[in-house]
Amino acid sequence: MQATTTGDNRTGAATAEDGVRAMLEANARWAPGEPVDTTLADADRSLYILDSEAVGSIPPPVTVQGMLKTGFDKLIGERPEVLLDKLGERLAFERSGTRLYDALMCKYDTLAEEGEVPPLAVPLDAGGEDVPSTLQRIRNEEHQHFQMLTEAVRALGGDPTAQTPCADVGATASMGILQVVTDPRTTLAQSLNALLMAELADNAGWELLIALADEAGEDDLVQQFQRALAEEQEHLVTIKSWLTALVSSPTPTAAA
């Protein structure tokens, strides 16, 4: 049995070497000898950029009260749609974040039942939570942020069901992250790596939103957003620590 296994390993190694050699030979034969000139392609792309319309527009506040809020005239360039656009972006992102953690919880539970997940530490101040409880709490906090943002948009006279341009762009940008986490072939570590990208963007997004709300004189919103940012910062630390633990584990598992 051992001789057969060794022979199979050698055969597999030789096949891999042949494949690498073939790719290198093909590259040497067919790769351009000089850098590809993209001048014409760039010119076409520039024409599309100049001729294109915007992704969308910001619907005006739906109530007169919202339009007359004192904070609106303090926004950059006196454009009240700036804050509403970024509120819509965060609202859409938090909704997607809830779905991301739903998918991650499913993947974790499935692998844990098979014994494929090494022990992972939870935050020291988590009150004795285990990993599933921590994931559930983070998921719930993402949903609470979504609900809070919904009320914030309403308070400013906006429509929380409208997809603003930044929300549209953000949803497109984050689509790949959701695809990684929901792909049954990806490991838990790969899914956490995708979540790390989302949490980094989420933290930066809240920081920008706080700055805009502060400039608009929306002190109540600033306080709510700062609490949300503090929770998002904890999410980031947790996801990063779990990812580090998985990729550094000396014992290979399906989770890594």
pLDDT, tens digit, 9 for 90 and up, residues 146-167: 999 999 999 888 889 988 999 9
Give tens-digit pLDDT for 19-76. 888 998 888 888 888 888 889 998 988 988 888 888 877 766 655 455 545 444 544 4
For residues 189 and 242, what is the distance between their CA atoms, to the nearest angstrom?
A: 8
Give tens-digit pLDDT for 74-101. 444 445 678 899 999 999 999 999 999 9
Percent with pLDDT over 90 in the chain? 51
CATH number of 53-247: 1.20.1260.10
Give tens-digit pLDDT for 211-221. 999 988 899 99
For residues 166 and 160, what is the distance between their CA atoms, to the nearest angstrom?
A: 13
Q: What does each C-alpha distance from 62 to 57, 147, 150, 162, 210 come to in angstroms?
A: 14, 19, 14, 11, 23
User: What pLDDT, on the 0 to 100 scale, is given for residue 121?
Assistant: 82
